[in-house]
Amino acid sequence: MNDRTISIFEEYCDSVKQLPEGDSVEVKVQGKYFTELYTRVMLHGWTCLSIISDENDNHIAMFVENGALGLFENMMGDGFDMNEMFGDDFKDDESDWWKH
């Protein structure tokens, strides 16, 4: 991660933790700043991989550089098999019930 990207995260976030791999970061950011943060870091090649929100509109989000995202895209590609990753006991939680 370069200094410019670090400074963007630090500008908007209450805390910034660079993860050991060096190509991902975990941040705590207030909801009112998230969209602007995401827009700015996206222009520098970063993607939000996950986000958790609380009742006070605080978010904990994990961002990865787009190069690191390739690993996840490869896992989720056409040949991705949930049973292979999670074993034969994997069951769909049927969260898409409303589509049927």
* pLDDT tens-digit readout, 43-77: 999 999 999 999 999 999 999 988 655 555 555 55
Helices within 13-100 (DSSP H only):
31-42, 66-75, 82-86
CATH topology of domain 3-84: Endonuclease I-creI (3.10.28)
Residue 40: pLDDT band (50, 70, 90) is very high
Range of weakest confidence among 9-18, 35-44, 65-74:
65-74
Q: Which of 34, 10, 27 is nearest to 61 (CA)?
A: 27
Contact between 40 and 8 (Cβ < 8 Å):
yes
Determine the Cα–Cα distance for residues 16 and 27; give it in Å rounded to an integer. 5
Decide: 44 and 35 in contact? Cβ < 8 Å: no
DSSP structure class, residue 23: S
Q: Write down the domain spans for the chain.
A: 3-84
pLDDT surpassing 70 at residue 13: yes
Residue 25 has pLDDT above 60, yes or no: yes
Who wins on pLDDT, 40 or 83?
40
C-alpha distances out from residue 80 to 9, 13, 64, 92, Å:
32, 34, 21, 14
